[in-house]
């Protein structure tokens, strides 16, 4: 939940903070307005999510068993992710290195 909203220490927070700092350097009034809007969005998000996380269920609940297809899809995705983490294909590795070099200005 915190990563989705862009709270620290996640990468989305760093990018939002960088944009906000650059905004305050160039257009302080617009950046202040943006900061206010972001605060309103955070408040609304937490106001909607808090009852879902800590409130009581709205109605009766039942135990639902996942289907075989659901389990299979999660298992295949997990195997793919672990495989890509351990054995990155050479073309994909070159693509990632090229993208990193582009962002770092090399």
Query: In this predicted structure, what is the pLDDT of residue 19?
Result: 84
Q: Most distant CA pair in the chain: distance in Å?
A: 58
DSSP per residue, 52-99: HHHSPPSS-----PPPHHHHHHHHHHHHHHHHHHHS--HHHHHHHHHH
Query: In this predicted structure, what is the pLDDT of residue 5?
Result: 65
Tell me which residue of 5, 11, 7, 1 sits closest to 103, measured CA to CA.
11
Query: In this predicted structure, what is the pLDDT of residue 96?
Result: 85
- Portion of the chain with pLDDT greater than 70, in percent: 93
pLDDT digits (tens, 9 = 90+) for 13-41: 777 788 888 889 999 999 899 889 989 99
Helices and strands (H, E) in the chain, number of each type: 5, 0
pLDDT digits (tens, 9 = 90+) for 67-85: 889 999 999 999 998 988 8
Which single residue is written with the structure tokens 């050479």? 90
Helices 11-26/28-54 angle, 10° precision: 150
CA distances 78 to 23, 70, 84, Å, are 40, 12, 10
């Amino acid at each position: 939940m915190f990563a989705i909203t862009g709270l620290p220490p996640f990468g989305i927070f760093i990018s939002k903070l960088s944009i906000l700092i650059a905004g305050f350097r160039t257009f302080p009034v617009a950046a202040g307005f943006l900061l206010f809007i972001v605060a309103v969005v955070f408040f609304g998000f937490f106001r909607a999510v808090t009852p879902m996380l800590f409130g009581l269920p709205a109605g009766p609940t039942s135990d639902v068993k996942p289907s075989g297809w659901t389990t299979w899809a999660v298992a295949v995705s997990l195997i793919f992710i672990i495989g890509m983490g351990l054995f990155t294909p050479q073309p994909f590795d070159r693509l990632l290195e090229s993208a990193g070099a582009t962002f770092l200005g090399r």
